[in-house]
Amino acid sequence: MSDVRSQIVFSILLTLLICVPAAAQSGSEPNPEKLRVISHNVWYGFTQKTEPRYSDWKRWMKAQSPDVVSLQELNTYTEERLQADAQSWDHPYCVLLKEDGFPTGITSRYPITDVKRIRQGFHHGLLRCRIQGIWFYVIHFHPSDFQRRIDEAALLKQDVESLPDENPKVVLAGDFNGFSPADKKQYDSDELLVPFFQGLDQKSRTARNLNDGKLDYGGIQAILDQGYTDLIDSRRSPQLPFVGTFPAALVSDQDHGTDRRLDYLFVSPSLRDQVDSVAILRDPCTEMLSDHIPVTATIRLREPDAKESVFASTPELLQETGAGEGPAWHPRLGLLTSGEGNINQLDLAGRQSVWMRDAGSNGLRFDEQGDLVICQSAQRRLVRRHQDGSLQVLADHFQNMKFNNPNDLAMDAKGRIYFTDPRYGDRSSMEMRDDSGVLVEGVYRVDPDGSIDRIITNEVDRPNGIAISTDNRFLFVADNNNSHGGARKLWRFDLNPDGGIDPATQRLIHDWGSTRGPDGMKLDTAGRLYVAAGLNRPNLPHETADPPTAGIYVFSPAGELLEFVAIPRDETTNCAFGGEDGKTLFVTAGGSLWSIRTTTPGQVF
């Protein structure tokens, strides 16, 4: 009886301790358009392999800028510690389920109400609350008993049916420890998974991972039978390889079996059409944050406020050939582009000519002195062409290894040059490797004194376009591997004052899935990012285009997709601002050149 009384008192105290700072109480409740939700099992509350992963994890979470965070395995956590963690990513509100065993918790940018903690019948317990009109359930089902997971799903259903809303908006977020029937094909092809669980069941009398020697899908099926949508499964492309959420590389020194999906985000039918984006956030950074990979979804709460278009015209075709890549504007020369092996010029009078023959170039950029910095992909180097026509080699090797094919470049306020070095096509002549001998397609920085540093090694798959935010705080990298199953993602990193990145701040801005990924990109003076990406015709089996996706994608400084304008040519490769007022966006696409007028001038240099 004393234990029960203690649990009741603790529950009351936690309810009173929901972190609500005075500043948050005094302010009016905001009316956000969207909620970005992240769910993550953090592995024993960071009691194992604590540092640097705990510090990295908090910086990573802040970089993601979530609105709601569902957490599992907060072992040894107190309410005060969860509050301190939440405040590190700017969340003033949080709730902890309990302080014993394997607690769950939730943090939020917005007030948390209607908190309920359920211990009875659940192996780890169930935490329920309400945020912005949505009921959130933090899930951590039984880890080794398929029947207990089915029973827990039934108890969950009972609580949802007790909610006061007639058609409640519900999100289930967490570690379900179960197998989805949507993944059965993957698991059937995995010859190691069943033997792994057979071994676990033999080691423990109480373990029931397998049902009559087979994987059991009943726990997740019970959730699906209640009408919930598995968000990850609903948005997966059949052209992409399977991606699980456990085990991560952090525990590769232990035997946890093969890749599987244990972490889920489910929504009720009333929210299904309000989901904007979903992702398993699996990348080199998150592989080392926990044994589980985080999952995320963005839920639209209301229709967005009316916004004026950033474009003041529709795309206009300027020329059919000679503009494959690298547009760069100069107020006296006009526009330079890379195409047909040369650097071509479209002068201020609209005349076309070859400006630099046999340049073998890709990305182009004028520096503040008016000299042209060139990614000479064919020559595997970065050069500067001075105004007198002389060439200065800025970088052609790193640690006695030749670059792959320098592709695109950006510059910061200190005059430092950043460039990407992917390899498309034949890889037999690649020399660039890391200290362990793994091939590298990296990102490099050239300082004004001529020194060269590698700032991204294997954090991205195949870096292509690159840009630096107007305030020099962020580095954007287009990850565009057009091989089957390759990454087609736009990443953002915090850029340190010394010109390096903080790998723990890696954030996924947009994922193009199975179509052509992001290529070149530029910013306007308001900090919006204009990204060339996509295809109009499929390049099977590597890239899809259903529907057509080629064009310019515009993202807010916070990383929200604002607008898309289609370019009716394949493939959209790069863009640059120019014109007399800086409000013309030039776009290269399949050798053709297009222009679009914008409402805001761009960063020309």
Residue-level pLDDT at 29: 54
Residue-level pLDDT at 304: 83
- Please enumerate in sequence order all residues whose Cβ is within 8 A of that of 66, keeping only pairs 6 or more positions apart, or say none: 36, 37, 38, 89, 109, 296
| The two three-digit tokens of residue 328, written as one number | 């760069």
Beta-carbon count within 10 A of 164 CB: 7
Beta-carbon count within 10 A of 304 CB: 11
Please give the distance of CA 20 from its chain centroid, rounded to a whole number. Answer: 30
Q: Is 203 helix (H, G, I), strand (E, B) or coil?
A: helix
| The two three-digit tokens of residue 34, written as one number | 């969207």
Instruction: Name which of 227, 222, 296, 234 is nearest 263 in CA terms.
Output: 296
Amino acid at 504: A
Looking at 17-52, list the stretches that DSSP marks H as alpha helix, in order from N- to C-terminal side.
22-26
Tell me the C-alpha distance between 481 and 234, whole Å.
Answer: 24
Considering the entire predicted model, what is its pTM?
A: 0.93
For 571, counting Cβ atoms within 10 Å of its Cβ (0-12 exposed, 13-18 middle, 19+ buried), the class is buried
DSSP string, 229-292: EEHHHHH--TTSPP---BS-GGGTTS---S-B--EEEEE-TTTGGGEEEEEE--STTGGGT-SS
Question: What domains lie within the chain, and their CATH numbers?
Answer: 34-184+216-300 (3.60.10.10), 316-597 (2.120.10.30)
E strand or H helix at 68: strand 68-72
Residues facing residue 38 across a β-bridge = 69, 296
| The two three-digit tokens of residue 365, written as one number | 């950029």
Instruction: Name which of 38, 39, 42 is nearest 56 in CA terms.
Output: 42
Residue-level pLDDT at 15: 47
**Residues lower than pLDDT 70 in the chain:** 1-29, 605
How far lies 288's CA from each of 48, 55, 72, 119, 313, in Å? 12, 12, 17, 31, 46
Amino acid at 508: L
Tell me the C-alpha distance between 136 and 92, whole Å.
Answer: 17
Contact present, 512 and 488 (Cβ < 8 Å): yes
Tell me the C-alpha distance between 457 and 232, whole Å.
Answer: 29
Tell me the C-alpha distance between 40 and 53, whole Å.
Answer: 14
Beta-carbon count within 10 A of 185 CB: 10
Contact present, 296 and 507 (Cβ < 8 Å): no
Asked, as a colleague might, if the bond just before 325 is cis with ω within 30 of 0, I would say: no
Question: DSSP letter at 47?
Answer: -
Tell me the C-alpha distance between 196 and 168, whole Å.
Answer: 39
Would you say the C-alpha torsion 357, 359, 363, 364 has a positive or negative sign?
negative
Residue-level pLDDT at 542: 85
DSSP string, 467-521: EE-TTS-EEEEEEE--STT--EEEEEEEEPTTS-EEEEEEEEEEE-TTB--EEEE
Contact present, 448 and 415 (Cβ < 8 Å): yes
The owner of tokens 């599987």 is: 260
